Amino acid sequence: MLKAYVRDDYDAAAAGWEPHMGPYFRVPAERLVADLAPRAGDRCLDLACGTGLIARAFARRVGPDGVSACDLAPAQVREARRVLDAAGCSAIDVRVMDAERLGYAPGSFERVGCGFGFNHFPRPLRALRGVFRVLSPGGVAGFTAWGSFAPSIRERFDERLLELVPSIGEHASCETAFARLAHRNGQPARIAECMARAGFVELRHREHAFAADYLGAPTFVDAMLARAERDVREAGLDAVQRAELRRTLVADLASFPRRAFVVRRTFHVVLGRRPVSEARDVGD
């Protein structure tokens, strides 16, 4: 149930993800790849790739021929393919794949990066054992997780969206279950614990800060509506109602000062290495 919820949620948001959410996730993606420090000749995997921000960051370091990407959501994979082709990265292999059932051969990669995907895995240890298996001995995997953030107009947007479209709150049961999963698995200590259980060593935890500038109310509302596309779609709004919803939200937030549209956050990177030799088999 949770996998289907996550898949459908990200499929619904796929078309608007790159133009509206890409700028927000770009810095964490680039920071993760910098921390993973791939070397020339390394083979790299962007796990739970979305539109392939991490894949592109990998490609800038090792070339697109050495990069693969996968995601559970078919629409996200199609969008990733389009974006990667437009960016001159047609050589990157992109597949629909469940992180808990990775179909790559053992030892396929020297680096695996996963941007804010760990909190979506209902059985994270199974996913990590699969990551361990597809890493070459000595290979490194890295996962990002959100940290603290300063109060922002995101809260105001969420409140107004629920006021304007009350039916969005009718899907609470699955959202609550997903929120619990995301909260538990989104903690750096939880990621490190699972990585250790899966056999990873030399665990490292780094914290980074960044600021995402949404420029103003129209850009911010477009980004937030892109992320809430599934909810808006399930509410049954037609094109006229959608346009009115956007207009109302932009007008409501336009009174906020320019600085309110700079969202400041921290995020965590948890890294672990597959030992060069293992005393036991921790594969799936």
pLDDT in tens, 48-93: 999 999 999 999 999 999 999 999 999 999 999 999 999 999 999 9
Percent of the chain with pLDDT over 90: 54
**Order of strands, edge to edge, in the sheet holding 201-213?**
93-96, 67-71, 44-47, 109-114, 135-149, 262-273, 201-213
Structure tokens at 83: 């974006």
Residue 136 pLDDT greater than 70, yes or no: yes
Q: Where are the domains of the chain?
A: 2-273
Question: Residue 95: pLDDT above 50?
Answer: yes
- Pairing type for strands 201-213 and 262-273 reads antiparallel
Distance CA 229, CA 237 (A): 11
Check pLDDT > 90 for residue 160.
Answer: no
CATH of the domain spanning 2-273: 3.40.50.150
What is this structure's pTM?
Answer: 0.84
* pLDDT-based confidence at residue 152 (cuts at 50, 70, 90): low
Q: Rounded to an integer, what distance in angstroms lies between the CA atom of residue 105 and that of residue 110?
A: 13
| Partners of 269 in the β-ladder | 144, 206
